Each structure stands twice: as C-alpha cells, then as structure tokens.
Amino acid sequence: MTQLDIIQPNNPTLRKRARPVTRFDDSVQELIDNMIETMRAASGVGLAAPQVNQSLRLAVIETPPDFDQEGQEIEDSRELFVIINPEITWKSRKMVDGIEGCLSIPGYVGEVSRHEAVRVQALDRRGKKLNLRLKDWTARIFQHEIDHLNGVLYIDRLTDPENFWTEEAFQKQFADDDEEQPIVIEAD
Ligand SMILES: [Zn+2]
C-alpha cells in the first residue's frame, strides 16, 4: 500500500463536486486501500477522495477508539467505513456545535454546527447497499466527509468567522479557561 499526498485548498479539486463511482474494479480497490493507509498514517478519522486529488464520491471513515476504565484503548473498538456515492437521507432537526479540524487545512481548528444525527445511504467497496444510522461524533465525521464530495470545507460552515483558530491558539485559550476543554476532532 502507498501513502497518498493530501492536497490543500489551493488545489481546485478540493472545491469541485466529485463524480459518482461507477466501477468497483482493482484501481478503485487500490485507491480505497491507499486512502485507509493515508488516513491512519495521518491519525485522521476520515479522508475523502478529493483530498487525495481524486474527484470521486468516495470516503473512508474510522471512528475514534473507546477506552476502558484505566484509559487503555479497547482493541477493535474502532469502526471502519468505506462509503461510495453516499446520500444523506434524513437529518435530525437538532444541531450541535463542535470543534473540527481537517487534514487539508493542517494546523487549524474551527467550530461547526452539525446535525446531531443523520441517516446515510451509500455503497460499500463491493457495491453493496448500506443504510447507516449515525449520531454524535460519527454523524459529524460523515457530514464533514460528504461535504468534501460537494467541494465544501468546514471553514465554509463556521458558527462565526471568529471561531477559527490555530491549533496552538485554541489549546492555549482553553487551557487558560476554567471550562472543560472541548474534544478536538481531527475530522480528516
Ligand atoms: Zn476534511
């Protein structure tokens, strides 16, 4: 497997609406494997094909692990999804604010409002239909990745233009605060 280069917003591929995947041949399987490898190497929880300069409606998502009472990562508690030609078929009315980052915008985080829960219809890597019900952080990651397939970045959806920070400034701001530090999600 090969690690792929992750592009940044100066590359127009990131701003294009991606094309549906119509074939599930070896080249698509290889792309999927390389995207999983690239996501893991970058410690991301999601990666969309446009981020590796492939304008295809395809994303890989791996949920963060669960931890036991001693704070140890529970083995096999991460869940890996490969979603192809995904559509959001239902969205909760309830919205939640959260902090997101993006591997295509390294070093920054911002606050984004997302639907608390969504249902997604997609195909898996073999072309089999998936119907997924997602909530909380997993629902957030899916919304972030599906946005990538439409050329949308989280910086387009900030709760306020001021709610965008360097990772360093964000950590400092919340370290000085008595408030509990929100979880930063390295969305992808
Ligand atoms: Zn992203």
Q: Per-residue pLDDT tens for 157-170?
A: 999 999 999 999 99
pTM of the predicted protein model: 0.90
Ligand 1: distance of its center to the CA of 76 in Å?
24
Q: Is the pLDDT of residue 186 over 80?
A: no
d(CA 125, CA 89): 20
Mean pLDDT calculated for residue range 14-37: 97
| Residues, CB within 5 angstroms of ligand 1 (ion) | 102, 188
Indicate which residues carry an active-site annotation.
145
d(CA 53, CA 6): 7
121 part of a folded domain: yes
Ligand 1: distance of its center to the CA of 154 in Å?
7
Distances from the Cα of 74 to the Cαs of 43, 71, 78, 156, in angstroms?
A: 17, 9, 8, 35
Q: Is the pLDDT of residue 188 over 80?
A: no
Ligand 1: distance of its center to the CA of 70 in Å?
31
Mean pLDDT calculated for residue range 177-182: 54
Enter the tokens of residue 176: 């000085």
Q: What is the pLDDT of residue 17?
A: 98
Q: What is the pLDDT of residue 136?
A: 94
7 part of a folded domain: no
82 part of a folded domain: yes
Q: What is the pLDDT of residue 34?
A: 98
DSSP 8-state symbol, 12? G
Q: Side-chain half-sphere of 32: how many Cα atoms within 13 Å? A: 23
Confidence of residue 181 (pLDDT cuts 50, 70, 90): low
Mean pLDDT over each residue of the chain, to the nearest integer: 93
Q: Residue 110: which domain range? A: 12-185
Q: What is the pLDDT of residue 37?
A: 97
Q: Number of structural domains, the chain?
A: 1
CATH of the domain at 152: 3.90.45.10
Residues 6+ apart with CB under 8 A from 152: none
6 part of a folded domain: no
Mean pLDDT calculated for residue range 147-153: 98
Ligand 1: distance of its center to the CA of 184 in Å?
13
Of 80, 83, 98, 13, residue with least CA distance to 44? 80
3 part of a folded domain: no
Q: What is the pLDDT of residues 82-109, one digit of tens each?
A: 999 999 999 999 999 999 999 999 999 9
4 part of a folded domain: no
Mean pLDDT calculated for residue range 38-62: 97
Q: Is the pLDDT of residue 29 over 80?
A: yes
2 part of a folded domain: no
Ligand 1: distance of its center to the CA of 126 in Å?
24
Of 158, 154, 153, 187, residue with least CA distance to 50? 153
Q: Where are the beta strands (DSSP E) in the chain?
A: 46-48, 58-62, 80-91, 95-100, 108-115, 117-123, 129-135, 164-166, 184-185
Ligand 1: distance of its center to the CA of 9 in Å?
10
Enter the tokens of residue 182: 């929100």
Mean pLDDT calculated for residue range 119-143: 97
114 part of a folded domain: yes
